[in-house]
Amino acid sequence: MMPIRTALRIMPAAWFVLPVAMFAGWYATLLHSPAGYGTAATAAASGTIPFVGAFVGGAAAWEGARLRRSGVWGGPWVRSDVRIAAGAMAGPIAAGLLAILVAVVVSLVRVGAFTPDLEIVGVLALDIFTYASLGFALGVLVPSALSVPLAVLLPFIWLAFVPAMYPVWLRHLTGMYRDCCGIAESLAPRAVVASVAVDLGVVAAATVAVRVRWPGRRRLLSALAVLTAASVFGVSAASGMTYAPVVARDPSLLTCSTNNAVRICLWPEHRDQANLLTPAIRDVVVSWETAGIDSPTSVTEAWDSQPTGTLSVRLPDQLTKDGVILAMAVGMLPPDPNCGGATTGGIAFAYLEAWYAAAGGISSASLERLDFPGDDVNPSVLVAVNDLLAAPVSVRHSWVARAISLSQSCDESTAPDLRVAR
Amino acid sequence: MTLWLKARAVPAVIATAAASLLVLILPFSTLSGTPSPAGATVALAVLLGLAMPVVLGWGMARSDRLLETASTRPIAVLDISLVLGAGLGVAVADVVLRVAGIAPAGSIAGRATATFIGFVLASVPVIGWRNASTVPVIYFVAVVVAGRGTDVAHPAPWAWIASPDGDVWAMTAAVVTLLVGTVIYLRTRGSSYLLQEN
């Protein structure tokens, strides 16, 4: 291994580790994740990997190029190639790991979570090792005037532009999980398998490519074969996924309690606020019953398929009474129809949301923010809600049934009528 | 002259120029992305602009500078002619393709190429040809990661390569960068670093 004093003198990884780590920490503050959820915070920190990976790749290419220029690589030395490579790559890898670690810590502290997701941290560490291997191989094989820019650009293009491409699941090959996770979600194992497969493929291809004692054609074909096999495996694991690498979170983590015949289930991140949330949720359910709305018997934060009578809610980061009411009102909405685009009946969602929120006891200031202008046929959202509040229960029932039916219709030819019968 | 052409990898430079122009006229060159919440929206064409600086940096770093000081040929003149001729030539061709309606992202690529060549020339006296092409690459990464301005459609003033097509400030900044880089290179081309680079 290289003495630290020598590393500080000659390694770009040592020169730039502090600025890059500080930048990663600042960058992590820009990436959103739900309060208190360690998995989501760790996943958000993975958003720093494009430039950290580029830095690691460039620094490793520099070290590889040093061995190439001096004729050290591939020589008949007592020390093995693996040890020589490890000595050269240790600095860039350590710098990359430090930068990622800073990003993860900042991301966790920012949302008040203290348990990182070790699976994501492991993949990030493998990412760093992968870009170091790629950069080192380029440095050994190609002149530094080409290898360093290439080693910076390749990870960057891979991590910054591939996630912007179609099909959307391509992004899961990169090992960057910034679209994970909502509080009711956890990281999808398929995304982990896909990115680990591609990472290992790149590492194996780089390992084959730097065996300079092998004939060039054999190295090229072996590296391509390994990379192709790993890519096919990764693609087969990720294909068909949505843009977010998530699955439903383990429901056994929910803490459930029954309050006035309403069963309320909360994630561990909201367990501390249960004293505030439980009465707030119960009050909304009671208000809905009073208003003649078919109320749920159970309210849960889980979002996988739930039995009839269970309401799934996404509580906001800032837990306020109005926020809880609004989250429950949104949870009461019917699913989006599969019409292949926007529909004229989609206007009914805004009316339904406002009605559920108003009936649940939302403040007038928050209700006004839900207002939406009407058209030639329909009144504004607030006027419709006021009409509903003044109407008998039977009228409300029929209006809600009609609004739900309209919201699910793919018929573009009929103008929706959301007026409240008097 | 033949030796100089070979030492500077001029055939590779020409091939890269042709390839970058070919890619520019393909439909996907107009793609753009915003990979970072603090970064600018960058067209793929900007990335194409890096091809010439990188290959020129490699070509210029291949030879023994100390040996070339004894040459009877005007190596320094040939070198700057190659860099400006090839770099600017591609930049001008990019813009011409844009004006002709063949490459919608042509002026963005041309502006980026001019900017990157300017950065390379300004960096050579400090870090040598071997490392100079890393500077525009780092600038590009910085723009994509942290170059966002007032909103997603407007980059920060220093990230002019990400500006929309036809932005006067961006084109001015690119030309000024190229001129300043050229002046710095020409005024310092005899520096000792150049002699010791290899």
Model confidence at A3: pLDDT above 90: no
Model confidence at B28: pLDDT above 80: no
Q: Which of B35, B54, B144 sits opposite A163 (nearest CB)?
A: B35
Tokens at residue A8, please?
Answer: 């500080």
Q: Report CA dihedral (A339, A342, A343, A348) to the nearest 10 degrees.
A: 110
Q: A111-151 pLDDT, tens per residue?
A: 888 889 999 999 999 999 999 999 999 999 998 888 999 99
Query: How confident is the model at residue A150, as a pLDDT?
Result: 92
Q: Give the pTM.
A: 0.83
Q: CA nearest A142: which of B87, B119, B54, B67? A: B54
Q: Which of B38, B60, B134 sits opposite A148 (nearest CB)?
A: B134
Q: Which of A54, A143, A145 sits opposite B141 (nearest CB)?
A: A54
Query: How confident is the model at residue B35, as a pLDDT?
Result: 74
Q: CA nearest B122: which of B21, B191, B69? A: B191
**Cβ contact (<8 Å) for B58 and A146?**
yes
Q: A329-360 pLDDT, tens per residue?
A: 999 888 888 777 667 778 888 899 999 999 88
Chain centroid, CA B59 distance in Å: 14
* Chain A residues close to B133, C-beta within 8 Å: 145, 148-149
Best residue of A144, A165, A166, A171 to probe chain B, by most B CBs closer than 10 Å: A144
Q: CA nearest A384: which of A422, A347, A420, A359? A: A420
* Chain B residues close to A161, C-beta within 8 Å: 33, 35, 44
Q: Which of B33, B137, B146 sits opposite A161 (nearest CB)?
A: B33
Distance CA B71, CA B62 (A): 16
Amino acid (1-letter code) at residue A265: C
Query: How confident is the model at residue A422, as a pLDDT?
Result: 66
pLDDT band at A362 (very low <50, low <70, confident <90, very high): confident
Long-range contacts of A237-240 (CB under 8 A, 24+ apart): A237/A190, A237/A191, A237/A193, A237/A194, A237/A197, A238/A169, A238/A170, A238/A172, A238/A173, A238/A190, A238/A191, A238/A194, A239/A167, A239/A169, A240/A169
Whether omega before A167 lies within 30 degrees of 0, making that bond cis, reads yes
More confident residue, B72 or B97: B97
Query: How confident is the model at residue B193, as a pLDDT?
Result: 46
* B155 SS3 class: strand
Q: A407-419 pLDDT, tens per residue?
A: 888 877 777 777 8
Mean pLDDT along residues B2-24 = 88
Q: A288-345 pLDDT, tens per residue?
A: 888 888 888 888 888 876 777 888 888 887 888 889 999 999 998 888 887 776 677 7
Distance CA A122, CA A233 (A): 20
**What Cα–Cα distance (Å) separates residue B168 from each residue in A18, A277, B43, B58, B164?**
37, 55, 17, 32, 10
DSSP A47-58: GGHHHHHHHHHH
Model confidence at A179: pLDDT above 60: yes
Q: Which of B130, B140, B145 sits opposite A144 (nearest CB)?
A: B130
Mean pLDDT along residues B18-37 = 82
In percent, how much of chain A has pLDDT > 90?
36
Mean pLDDT along residues B24-42 = 80
Query: How confident is the model at residue B191, as a pLDDT?
Result: 57
Query: B4 to chain A, minimum CA–CA distance in Å?
Result: 18
Best residue of A56, A152, A158, A179 to probe chain B, by most B CBs closer than 10 Å: A152
Query: How confident is the model at residue B47, as a pLDDT?
Result: 87
- E-strand spans in A267-360? 298-300, 310-312
* Residues ≥6 apart with Cβ < 8 Å to B80: B182, B185, B186, B189
Mean pLDDT along residues A160-178 = 87
Model confidence at A246: pLDDT above 50: yes
Where do we find the tokens 């009578």? Answer: A309
Complex confidence, ipTM: 0.81
Distance CA A296, CA B173 (A): 62
Model confidence at B112: pLDDT above 50: yes
Q: Which of residues 125-184 of A touch B (CB under 8 A)?
A: 143-146, 148-150, 152-153, 156-157, 159-161, 163-164
pLDDT band at A260 (very low <50, low <70, confident <90, very high): confident
* Residues A190, A241 contacting (CB under 8 angstroms): yes
* A403 SS3 class: helix
In percent, how much of chain B has pLDDT > 70?
95
Q: Which of residues 12-71 of B touch A (CB under 8 A)?
A: 31, 33-38, 44, 47, 50, 54-55, 57-58, 60-62
Distance CA A113, CA A108 (A): 5
Mean pLDDT along residues A177-194 = 90
* Residues B40, B34 contacting (CB under 8 angstroms): yes
**Cβ contact (<8 Å) for A160 and B129?**
no
Long-range contacts of A388-396 (CB under 8 A, 24+ apart): A388/A355, A388/A358, A388/A359, A388/A420, A389/A358, A389/A359, A391/A420, A391/A421, A391/A422, A393/A291, A393/A292, A395/A420, A395/A421, A396/A291, A396/A292, A396/A293
- The nearest alpha carbon in chain A to B56 belongs to A145
Where do we find the tokens 């019968």? Answer: A421
Cα angle A414, A415, A419 (rounded to 5 degrees) comes to 130
pLDDT band at B174 (very low <50, low <70, confident <90, very high): very high
Mean pLDDT along residues B121-139 = 90
* Chain A residues close to B123, C-beta within 8 Å: none
**Cβ contact (<8 Å) for A146 and B137?**
no
**Cβ contact (<8 Å) for A145 and B61?**
yes
Model confidence at A195: pLDDT above 90: yes
Query: How confident is the model at residue A97, as a pLDDT?
Result: 96
**Strands across the sheet containing A262-266:** A255-259, A262-266, A298-300, A310-312
Mean pLDDT along residues B47-61 = 90
In chain B, where are the structural domains located? Answer: 2-196
Q: A100-110 pLDDT, tens per residue?
A: 999 999 999 99
Our separate counts of H helices and E strands in chain B read: 10, 4
**Cβ contact (<8 Å) for A31 and B37?**
yes
Q: List residues bridging with A312 in a β-sheet.
A: A300
Q: List residues bridging with A266 in a β-sheet.
A: A255
Q: Which of A47, A149, A160 sits opposite B144 (nearest CB)?
A: A160
pLDDT band at A1 (very low <50, low <70, confident <90, very high): low
Query: How confident is the model at residue A294, as a pLDDT?
Result: 85
Q: List residues bridging with A80 in a β-sheet.
A: none
**Cβ contact (<8 Å) for B36 and A163?**
no
pLDDT band at B195 (very low <50, low <70, confident <90, very high): very low
Best residue of B145, B148, B152, B198 to probe chain A, by most A CBs closer than 10 Å: B145
**Cβ contact (<8 Å) for B58 and A143?**
yes
Chain centroid, CA B73 distance in Å: 26
Query: How confident is the model at residue A127, as a pLDDT?
Result: 95
B155 HSE (CA, 13 A, CB side): 27
**Cβ contact (<8 Å) for B54 and A161?**
no
Query: How confident is the model at residue B189, as a pLDDT?
Result: 67
Residues in chain B: 198
Tokens at residue A73, please?
Answer: 């690589």
Best residue of A20, A30, A162 to probe chain B, by most B CBs closer than 10 Å: A30
Q: Are strands A255-259 and A262-266 parallel, antiparallel or unpaired?
A: antiparallel
pLDDT band at A26 (very low <50, low <70, confident <90, very high): very high
B7 touches chain A (CB under 8 A): no
Q: List residues bridging with A255 in a β-sheet.
A: A266
DSSP A362-386: --HHHHHTT-----SSS--HHHHHH
